[in-house]
Amino acid sequence: MQQLLLQMLDGTVTSLKVFVLTLIFSLPLGFIVAKGRMSRNFLLRGIVNLYIQIMRGTPLILQLIFVYFAPYYVIGFSYDRFTAVIVAFVLNYSAYFAEIYRSGLQSIEKGQYEACKVLGFSKTHTFFFIILPQVVKRILPSLGNEVVTLVKDTALAQTIGVSELFRVAQNAASRMFSTMPIFVAGVFYFIMNYIVSKMFDFFEKKLSYYR
């Protein structure tokens, strides 16, 4: 039993690594994608739009397989499975985050920008001190949803052979002829997401001082 828990903790660490690395890269990248999606340049906008449509329109599991195997079949380049997982997750999640950022940015009234312009704020000051804080408040709930989904999606990393929490649990289950490890894994995911939601609740409360 202790042995099993240790193995599962190991898998959990891998899951958490996927989770954290995906967030670190896709949260800022999503912003750049959002900017491209809102660009005046129709070619750039078109390309970014297509990218987002593909990421949202095809299963993540398929994207994982594609990202890992395509370079090998096309140019004979093979690479580390874990890296492939991160690349696929970052590509996918950047697209989702981009759409969230875009809806947030577009929900800010034009009057806020106009007030900034009339008061003489620089573009950077306007963005970082006036627009961004309001965007963050507005997108926090949808961002929370997406991050919870990411915790669960990390289970897909096993598709290309990365032994994260769920894979470890499944292996243990077939060794032990018992579904108990899978149930334990469920509890692990639940705890992780409980913490994630609590954190988002905390930030939402912190920003609830204004409407």
Partner 1 sequence: MEELMVKAEGISKSFGSLEVLHDISFSLTKGNVLSIIGPSGSGKSTLLRIITQLEKADGGTLEIKGCRLFENGVYAKAEEQKRIGRLTGLVFQSFNLFPHFSVLRNITEAQRAVLKRSKAEAEEKAYSLLKRMSLQDKAKSYPCELSGGQMQRVSIARALALDPEILFFDEPTSALDPELTRDILNVIRSLAEEKMTMVVVTHEMNFAKGISDHAIFMEGGYIVEEGDPVSLFEHPQNKRTKEFVKSFDD
Which DSSP string corresponds to 21-47?
Answer: HHHHHHHHHHHHHHHHHT-S-HHHHHH
Binding of partner 1 by 119 (CB under 8 A): yes
Nearer to partner 1, 117 or 175 (CB): 117
* Residue 57 touching partner 1 (CB under 8 A): no
The stretch among 10-18, 45-53, 64-72, 203-211 that binds partner 1 (CB under 8 A) is: 203-211
Nearest distance from residue 205's CB to partner 1, in Å?
A: 15
**Contact status: 137 vs partner 1 (CB under 8 A):** yes
Distance, CA of 119 to CA of 81 (rounded, Å): 52
**Min CB(206)–partner 1 separation in Å:** 12
Q: Does 40 bind partner 1 (CB under 8 A)?
A: no
Tokens 């800010």, located at residue: 108
Site for partner 1 contains 115 (CB under 8 A): yes
d(CA 27, CA 82): 19
Half-sphere exposure of 65 (CA within 13 A, CB side): 5
Helices 165-176 and 180-206 pack at an angle, to 10 degrees, of 160
**Which residue stretch of 41-49, 55-63, 110-118, 180-188 sits at the interface with partner 1 (rule: CB under 8 A)?**
110-118
Q: Are 154 and 165 in contact (CB under 8 A)?
A: yes
121 binds partner 1 (CB under 8 A): yes
3-state secondary structure of 179: coil
* Under 8 Å between Cβ of 93 and 30: yes
Tell me how far, at minimum, the Cβ of 39 lies from partner 1, in Å: 21
For partner 1, which residue of 2, 3, 120, 198 counts as binding (CB under 8 A)? 120
Q: Give the rounded distance of the alpha carbon of 155 from its chain centre.
A: 13
Interface residue with partner 1 among 76, 118, 177, 205 (CB under 8 A) is 118
Provide the binding-site residues for partner 1, judged by CB under 8 A: 109, 111-112, 114-115, 117-122, 125, 129-130, 133-134, 137, 209-211
